[in-house]
Structure 1
């Protein structure tokens, strides 16, 4: 069949079979490419060989080189590019044989310290009827020229290599899918023991970054109309993390589209950084997407990236739904336990205290000494105060559904733990739940979110205190950190809205340095 398709092979058949045996020695894709270039040089007596690999857009993005040692390669001013003669096969994928590569009209010469090369032979390598790359050979042994037989032999080898590469790619894809499947299982197993949503989101980001080899994976959520990072795993010092606002600004249109359509989308390149937006299609934890950033070269795996990322995200969504259901079940158990405690306090403890108070009041009637009567009165008053406190506790136990402003403040501080890297200390004084209007409460939460975001982005702190004080007329929010403080003029940007909220409601806003180091933000407005 080989001789019928490619005449004139003759005595080269034995060398061709040796070459085929060499390139078929394993299923490792990179190893197969190295063996192909080595076998091509042995088959045609070429000193140097290289295969240029094309990406999905038909642009050469990688080379596998044979015949140039590391020391020589280090002295060459630049590695091969697909301009000049090498670009001819990219534009027109047909065999090209030259007596002297330097005489071709497209020749651009060689960079300094490049080995001398004259004779040239190039053929395309097709995989699944598409050009996968181009194989280039130079410098036939003894100063001879490449022959028509060399060209025929190399064409046959390239044709067989296409099948070998296709098998290697299939094997590589299978191994990759297996690795991603195992990562998904490991993530699901970890989330089985995780009841808190922030911890679960952090685990999803960590497992995805590890299996994908990405530089950074962030979980982004819709926070009151704006997108913010709620979990982050960064395996390297990614330059874009210094300006998450810029990343989210560029990514926001893609985030909205991915959420709306429920499918994985590629991000536009940001400063030599590629990425993907992957929606988490969770039923119980809606509004979350995965932001995957890579360093230039995509380690997620090219054409398979959307498929692998989507499958992982779907598995994560199921695990998150289970985590949310578990958290809800624990909340229901907690409510039931509170009901039981409240019932016991009312039916047992209060009744006993009330009976004791009645006994003391009855005893007072038969006591003669005024001092004893006074002490009995004090004891009865203390018992009545205790009964009122217990009734207040019972009310809180039966009505605390987690929706109070106090709990909202603490929950928001906890939400920023993955981004800050520490847990803010929250101190609340005064009747926050009863003494603040709903409008003021909304402004408080928005201001607190913006303040914590600024601490996360700019402060470089490892501690932060959130203080909320409610007086008869005014609400004060004070946030201090131990970070690097404020250098020079303050760029307010997001803080402009914080100042506007205070001024429009007759309040004040101040931000400045905290002694001995750090930043202090104070925001106060009328409570009604």
Structure 2
């Protein structure tokens, strides 16, 4: 097949590369707003692969567009390099945590895939104005010289407000163009697509200065629109995460306020009343003041203990555990510092190294909940944490204290949040949970994971 001057040779993707791209797309969770485009891409990949086998010795012609993406036509003309770029973009959605990092990866991929000199993506805030602007192809120094991010006027306003894609060979000739600010690099050809989520424009993705060609073509537009769909998924996911975190912070504030009102504030108020009473009786019955002051001092010690307990409960949540023994020791040290208890730790390093990441994380959270309960409710002076493993018994985590204890046969309807969490986590990982406690004796919690569920111990 004849190629235009400067046109790179396109090699069809191999079967392995097609499978890699298909597997990447299949990781999208069912039911998400990104699922339908991903399903269409995967279907088109498989159809395109079969189609190429049948016409391996015939030249490939570009099919007509069939809808907004023409996915089957796109995939059959993709090179291995194209597919690797799209796979990279998909991986970015799961490997990056920050929205800026995801968007930067997407604009880099879009610029490479379409052969552009520059690329950028803008994200609209709640007020309808551009709140984020991520670029590719322009250095930080050039960005600083340009100054303020775009205001969304001119041709960018067309993308943001009219929702229409733009492909221009010379953007300066379009009457809607507003020109460039000082120190802005010259740009000629333009390809821009709106970023749309559930029928609402939330940003735009655009590229300028097509390399080795006068203008961007239909295939470039289809590719960029697909990447725009990925961008929309990333933006909406980031916003949902922020909303959930905000809700969690609000719920935590309400819980702390309630705990402080029911506990610390009431105790401090009682101390104030006792001291006022002591001031009234000091002249007529000085011998009674000592008892009042002793009670006030005892109440203040309880306030200090309660505040330490709240501090211990406000530790950061952990999403992965690379060193379970070290993490358990840190929990133990935090308990010792905040409660002044005598804490003993014994951890089998070898057994801990045999656990899968999800198993280690679950056991860490169980230890965290158990020690939190000890610190808040047990009134113990001593606590021990042990973790051990054997081929016969599997691995076991035990937390034992010498505190107040409770009647395990009489807790219907009064089970605390922490204990429920421990039971749920043990059940989810297939572990056996034993809770042994008696009033005045203390409490022992044992979580045992059978050897069959531990790879290094399974026979």
What is the TM-score of this pair, normalised by structure 1? 0.37
Larger radius of gyration: 1
What is the TM-score of this pair, normalised by structure 2? 0.42
